[in-house]
């Protein structure tokens, strides 16, 4: 099965580390990153989709971060 995650966070080094950790764990970038201004916090927010091929079938209780 192909698993999909959308990583999100503030535009800072913590977000970059989140994406880097996913890549180190075998996830692959999927599409371009997205950026948006969060008027509530006054900060930029980022999103990056990642995918990973894993064994087994999809189930709604899969913890994607553990794959």
Tens-place pLDDT, residues 32-51:
999 999 999 999 999 999 99
48, 19 in Cβ contact below 8 A? Answer: yes
Sketch the domain layout of the chain as residue ranges: 2-55
Rounded to 5 degrees, φ, ψ at 57 are: -105, 160
The beta-strand segments (E) located in the chain are: 2-10, 28-38, 43-53
The model carries a pTM of 0.89
Q: What is the mean pLDDT of residues 6-13?
A: 96
> Which residue from 22, 20, 19, 1 is spatially nearest to 9, judged by alpha carbons?
19
CA dist 67 and 24 (Å) reads 12
46, 9 in Cβ contact below 8 A? Answer: yes
Average pLDDT value for the chain: 95
């Amino acid at each position: 099965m192909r698993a999909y995650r959308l990583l999100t966070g503030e535009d800072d080094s913590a977000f970059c580390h989140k994406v880097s950790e996913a890549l180190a764990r075998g996830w692959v970038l999927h599409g371009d990153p997205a950026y948006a201004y969060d008027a509530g916090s006054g900060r930029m927010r980022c999103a990056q989709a990642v995918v990973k091929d894993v064994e087994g079938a999809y189930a709604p209780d899969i913890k994607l971060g553990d794959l």
